[in-house]
Amino acid sequence: MTEFGAVHDGERASDSPTMGSAPRVCRKCGAQIFADAPEGLCTACLFETGLDLLTNASVAADDDGGCPENIKATDSDVARYSKKKSNLPKTFADFGDYELLEVIGRGGQGVVYRALQKSLNRTVALKVIGLGHWASDAHLKRFRREAEAAASLDHPGIVPIYEVGERDGSCYFSMKFIEGGQLDEVVRREPMPIRRTVELIAKVARTVHYAHDHSILHRDIKPGNILLDAKGEPHLTDFGLARLVETESTVTRTLEVLGTPSYMAPEQAVGNNDAVSSVTDVYGLGAVLYQLLTGHPPFAGGTTYETIKLLLDTEPRQPRLWNAKIDRDLSTICLKCLEKDPKRRYSSALALAEDLERWLKHEPILARRIGIITRGGKWVRRNPTSGLLAASLVALAAAAGWIIWKSDFTQHPLTTGIAVLPFENLSDDKEQAYFADGVQDDILIKLAKIAELR
């Protein structure tokens, strides 16, 4: 495993790992791959090339009455693959009980197809994670266990899993096909209004809470894993499938799935799997909310390393600085989800959903705004050396100020004084004027006897 973990399939090329093996580019799709990638292809293209070879073998068997020996992927095989798909109007390959119709998503670890399940004559989404020769019994056992646990969830906001299996070293699972598309693709075409965004995240948060009640964490909540149906209702997918590979395997250096950098919580970024909990998913919900409100993820660097460095060392920019239409309460809710200390986030996805619903009803929210003192304390905890230096400078400045003030006090000691003003005769008897003057003189004489009184 790399220093900060690894990244989930579906990430951008700019988010691919840059540590460990030197990255190269897949000769077919252009995605970044590691130097030891077989055939110079990413796992997704390697899997597709294998399907192409199986199709070639089937065609050759039909033509020659046998199967060709020593089939090996070549550049011409890869080049023929795209052409072959266009020549096959209904399917471009078979995968057991499934006819693969078209690619609807792809990433570093696998491919998602729109497929026809022949035995039930239904259209499904088929996700294939092509581990190939890296697949071990431990991998397949872990995959099946987590996928079957996710398949036990029965909620209208969770994409149901139909079947989990393995074929030729490739893990796969079929799930309900959602027509609307991924959330990130939808908002890329048309930004989502603020109120609609809050309504959507509140629904997803309640869905996540349902899974937590059934002891299942998601661990990779991001816009690409939220699907919208034809009515615009959200459906969360890839539940429980965010960690497919066992840590003892050598494949973890390149393929272990811990999350997507721009949306992963700090405890995930440092590889502290023991600290991953339900509030880790709360962070992911907050990151998606931030993305939808501002048009930017909370943290985004040029590489995975840079993104995670920003995630660990800096605070997210105030959402209101990206979008002035975001009010202070909504900004406060969003930033509470993104607290680096898990204890400072919402205690559950349900608590987040309820605060969002309070905002929708124009009711007071429970989240408190972060003050300057709190922000300063958080900065000092993240930067103890700089904090100690700043504290030393403040102490030095205070000491210097005290010395200067003390010196000035010594040179110009303060004195205690009192003034006695002349008394005025307010009576009609003018002869009483002498009495008023005498009172002033008498008071001055008596006060002069008091030591240190001027």
Where the chain has pLDDT below 50, the residues are 1-23, 34, 36, 53-90, 244-258, 371-375, 377-380, 382
User: Given this model, what pLDDT does residue 88 score?
Assistant: 35
Residue 185 CB: number of other CB atoms within 10 A?
14
Looking at 9, 15, 220, 355, which residue is catalytic? 220
Pairwise CA distance, residues 103 & 55, whole Å: 17
Rounded Cα distance between 383 and 377, Å, is 10
Amino acid 351: pLDDT:
97
C-alpha 344/C-alpha 341 separation (Å) is 6
The fold of 184-236+258-370 is Transferase(Phosphotransferase); domain 1 (1.10.510)
> How far from the centroid of its chain's Cα atoms is residue 141's Cα?
28
Q: Is 220 part of the annotated catalytic residue set? A: yes
Dihedral angle computed from the Cα positions of residues 35, 36, 39 and 41, in that order, rounded to the nearest 10 degrees: -60
By C-alpha distance, which of 168, 161, 231, 220 is closest to 196?
Answer: 231
- pLDDT at position 386: 58
Q: What is the pLDDT of residue 372?
A: 47
Residues 6+ apart with CB under 8 A from 359: 198, 329, 330, 333, 365
Closest CA to 295 of 332, 262, 337: 262
Could you tell me the two tokens for 315? 């605070």
Residue 16: partners with Cβ closer than 8 Å, 6 or more residues away: 7, 23, 31, 32, 108, 304
- Sequence ranges of the domains in the chain: 184-236+258-370, 415-454
Helix, strand, coil % (nearest 5) of the chain? 50, 15, 40
Q: Are 366 and 355 in contact (CB under 8 A)?
A: yes
> What are the distances in angstroms from CA 51 to CA 29, 55, 165, 261?
16, 6, 17, 31
Query: What's the confidence (pLDDT) of residue 439?
Result: 75
Report the interhelical angle of 43-64 vs 75-87 (nearest 10°).
70
In this structure, what token pair is assigned to residue 350? 């349900």
* Chain segment 89-146, per-residue pLDDT in tens: 345 678 889 999 988 877 655 788 999 999 999 999 998 876 655 666 776 777 777 7
Spatial separation of the C-alpha atoms in residues 18 and 31, rounded to whole Å: 13
Calculate ∠ Cα 26-255-306, nearest 5°.
80
